Amino acid sequence: MALGVIDASVAVKWFLEEEGTAAALRLQEAFFEGILAIRVPAIFPWEVMNALRYSAQFPARDLREAAHDLDRAGFATMPLFGAYLERTIELALALDITIYDASYVGLAEILACPLYTADEALIASAPTGVSVVSVEDYPPG
């Protein structure tokens, strides 16, 4: 089974119809079919829920159901402690990105797997040796 990290920009597309939604849903399907194991930082659900909360396209009345959907998905989450925390801080400072974004990059680096994202700026800032890939490129060719 392949392993990947996803960031909140991918999961938000599971709930909103926007550019990249079809690709994000292909990735979600691979996870549910057992083709792709997904790991996420512990901040993942908060980031997804916050993005949905402030999206003009997502009805507030559906926030609880979205939260339940994320919970039921059963993603393996990684707490931001120890060497992972240290590397996240190093990446944030070196790449001039948020701790939030660096936590995804750092997790992908530690797990030696791709990070799938819809964040073009994050893709552009990826350090050498870390595979930060557009969700549009899933599945890998």
Q: Report the largest interatomic distance among the alpha carbons of the chain, rounded to a whole angstrom.
A: 42
Domain count for the chain, please give it. 1
Would you say 129 and 109 are in contact if contact means Cβ atoms under 8 Å apart? yes
Q: Is the per-residue pLDDT at 141 higher than 90?
A: no
Q: What is the pLDDT of residue 62?
A: 97
Q: What is the CATH number of the domain that holds 108?
A: 3.40.50.1010
The rounded distance, in Å, linking the Cα atoms of 49 and 34 is: 25
Record the pTM. 0.95
Q: What is the pLDDT of residue 73?
A: 94
Domain with 100 in it: 2-137
> Per-residue pLDDT tens for 29-57?
999 999 999 999 999 999 999 999 999 99
Would you say 130 and 117 are in contact if contact means Cβ atoms under 8 Å apart? no
Q: What is the pLDDT of residue 140?
A: 80
